[in-house]
Chains A and B, each alone.
Chain A
């Protein structure tokens, strides 16, 4: 009973982090901030979901279930390493691709992906707006 409540709690918190990731990916104005939302939320929520699955599998204990839970732990460990690495690779490609970044002035001028935003592309990475 307590184990069931723990499983439900872990999965609901994982769903909450998935929801935060989705809202961040849809709502953030900039590619870099979107990566920030995706890289952190997905890793933790996947860990929470699969942790709940491990607890559910180990509820009726046997040798075969122990093997399955071990495989799930391997998946959790792999995702915990691979997901930040993939996020880092994506943001490195975006930095080399010179994706325009969001500033206060570009936010005032227009929406994301606007052509007025592309003025920022050839500047230095830190514009004067962010310093002041």
Chain B
């Protein structure tokens, strides 16, 4: 029983569903809706790559691409989610001592120092 036409039909159907999902990415009312649509399209793409590999006859090569794509999709979604989570919260006025890692201590002080100098420079100009 030759299953290749069935796989081609499946690939076309998944592509059509991805196109329908693209509506939510384009017309989503908020940014988070667009992120959700992109995540769903990425998950569908992993299935799509495996099916294309089966049709092509070289699954063992396409499997590695699929694994990398799944990892990349997950990391991208997590990074975007954390970014918008941080952007929505008000920034703390003064970072507490306990929140700063011990290894990051000198860098924080160095980052603060130029601001002080620039403020002092502004005051001296007039």
Contacts and interface: CB of A to CB of B under 8 A. Distances in A.
A11 B6 contact: yes
A29 to B, nearest CB: 10
A47 B100 CA distance: 41
A42 B1 contact: no
B10 A46 contact: no
Interface stretch (B58-66, B103-111, B112-120): B58-66
Contacts of A38: 36, 39-40
Interface in A4-31: 4, 7-8, 11, 14-15, 18-19, 21-22, 25-26, 31
A90 B70 contact: no
Contacts of A99: 30, 32
Interface string B77-98: 1101110110011000000000
Contacts of A72: 50, 63
Nearest to A21: B40
Contacts of A22: 17, 20-21
Contacts of A112: 29
A117 B82 CA distance: 25
Nearest to A81: B74
Given A53-B50, A64-B60, A96-B88, A82 B40 contact: no
A59 to B, nearest CB: 9
Interface in A62-106: 64, 67-68, 71-72, 74-75, 78-79, 82-83, 85-87, 89-90, 92-94, 96-99
Interface of B: 1, 3, 6, 10, 13-14, 17, 20-21, 23-24, 29-33, 35-37, 39-40, 43-44, 46-47, 50-51, 54, 59-60, 63-64, 66-67, 70-71, 73-74, 77-78, 80-82, 84-85, 88-89
Interface of A: 1, 4, 7-8, 11, 14-15, 18-19, 21-22, 25-26, 31, 34-35, 38, 42, 45-46, 49-50, 53, 56-57, 64, 67-68, 71-72, 74-75, 78-79, 82-83, 85-87, 89-90, 92-94, 96-99, 112-113
